[in-house]
Amino acid sequence: MQMDLPTLWYLTLGTLLVGAAMTLWERRVHGHRSRQLGLWAGSYVVFALGCLVAMNRQAFPAVTGWALSNVLMVIGYLMVWHGAAGLDEPVKATRSALAVAAVALLWTGVGAGDVDLLWNHVAALPIALIAGLTAWTLVRSGTVAGLRSRPVAVAVFALHALFYLFRTFVSPLLAAAYGNEVLAVVAKATMYEAVLFSVAMPMAFLALIREEYQAELLTASRTDFLTGLSNRTGFFAQAARLLKESRADQPVSLLAFDLDHFKAINDRYGHDAGDDVLRLFASVARETAGADGLIVRLGGEEFAVLLPAHGSKEARAVGETVAARFAERAVRRDGLGIPATVSVGVAESEAGRCDLSALLTSADRALYRAKELGRNRIEIASPAEAVAAA
């Protein structure tokens, strides 16, 4: 089906306004991205205004219509880039304002002399540069790194930039070789591409925001709210990945911790003080285990630390350090120290034969023995206990 240029203009205009409406609707449920979504929605409206001016540019005096349309388009693309860059941190608008001023001055100085050259070729260059910058910004963004929709968003802007580079540098050569009829073909191709871009751009950005939100929800569902450590669900998910990446010829150890007489702390000092004790232990465990360990709050006053490439002796040393530092750093509340200790169980898995559930069961048995023997101590599971747990 053939479409004339006015129809393509109207179709582009409509898709831009629909994109703006969808983006504003999405903005209502993504408060932390309200600025970015607002910029993108605003840019689509600016693009639509640019389209309206371009469709009626002959009604404006001299080259005003061409110039105003091009300036509006550049403003729209800069708003898009600011939204993309703002996913990591906001950027100042100074350079963007200078870019808009440069485009306006170009039209003021050269527009009357050769409006066709500017409209068909030169005006496409700033659009290509900003679209390419947007693609590069998304490539380098740490916020959207790893999101499945990022390559799609990058491709949308990279291809758009390449098309406008074609308009800037290749189409004038084709027009010189084959006549100005080529420009009519390029103009229609530009509008077909504009329709596709005006659909793909909002969809790509909405996909990024939604996927980022889903990732945040997943992280929250795997994180203990009080301590910031992994919860049981997050622990098993991360541990499976960690063990898969670890060397098969190295042992794996697990430390199970249980805060001693924690109910008595809550009863005597209150639950707020108990929460402080839990946060203190999480902080000590995180500082001590460092990057080597995966730390989890299993529930209540129970914690665990998974130590790949650590034997039981090394794990015991870590456990002793955690226990000693925890006992030394009394939580201060109303000027009083709250004495707190911890019991520890250690279990080691044979190299290449790590069953996480069995390892946790074995460490739990050693932990219960530490509690039965008077608490505030560390016990190591015997090989027989490890076999029985498996």
DSSP assignment of 189-229:
HHHHHHHHHHHHHHHHHHHHHHHHHHHHHHHHHTB-TTT-S
pLDDT for position 334:
57
User: Average pLDDT in the 168-195 region?
Assistant: 94
pLDDT for position 246:
74
**Fold of the domain built from segment(s) 232-389:** Alpha-Beta Plaits (3.30.70)
pLDDT for position 250:
83
How would residue 248 be classed by pLDDT, with cut points 50, 70 and 90? confident
Rounded to two decimals, the pTM is 0.83
H/E stretch holding 388:
helix 383-389
Q: Looking at domain 5-221, does it have CATH number 1.20.1070? A: yes
Q: Is the model's pLDDT at 30 over the cut of 90? A: yes
331 versus 232: which is more confidently predicted?
Answer: 232
Q: Is the model's pLDDT at 383 over the cut of 90? A: no
pLDDT tens digits for 288-331? 987 778 999 999 999 999 999 899 999 999 999 999 999 988 66
**Measured torsion, CA atoms of residues 143, 144, 146, 148, in degrees rounded to the nearest 10:** 160
How would residue 385 be classed by pLDDT, with cut points 50, 70 and 90? low
Note whether 100 and 75 are within 8 A (CB).
yes
How would residue 390 be classed by pLDDT, with cut points 50, 70 and 90? very low
User: Average pLDDT in the 372-386 region?
Assistant: 83
Q: Is the model's pLDDT at 389 over the cut of 80? A: no
Provide the residue ranges of all domains of the chain, joining segments of one domain with +: 5-221, 232-389
Burial class (CB in 10 A: 0-12, 13-18, 19+), 147: buried
**CA–CA dist 165, 182 (Å, integer):** 16
pLDDT tens digits for 203-219? 999 999 999 999 999 98
pLDDT tens digits for 47-82? 999 999 999 999 999 899 999 999 999 999 999 999
How would residue 384 be classed by pLDDT, with cut points 50, 70 and 90? very low
Does residue 223 sit in helix, strand or coil? Answer: strand
Which of 198-202, 226-230, 237-241 shows the lowest per-residue confidence on average (mean pLDDT)? 237-241
CA atoms 216, 218, 224, 229: torsion sign: negative
H/E stretch holding 65:
helix 64-85
How would residue 104 be classed by pLDDT, with cut points 50, 70 and 90? very high
How would residue 143 be classed by pLDDT, with cut points 50, 70 and 90? very high
How would residue 155 be classed by pLDDT, with cut points 50, 70 and 90? very high
User: Average pLDDT in the 219-248 region?
Assistant: 88
pLDDT for position 302:
97
User: Average pLDDT in the 14-36 region?
Assistant: 96
Hey, which residues does 307 pair with through a beta bridge?
253
Q: What percent of the chain has pLDDT over 70?
A: 95
Note whether 52 and 6 are within 8 A (CB).
no
pLDDT for position 388:
47
Average pLDDT value over all residues in the chain: 92
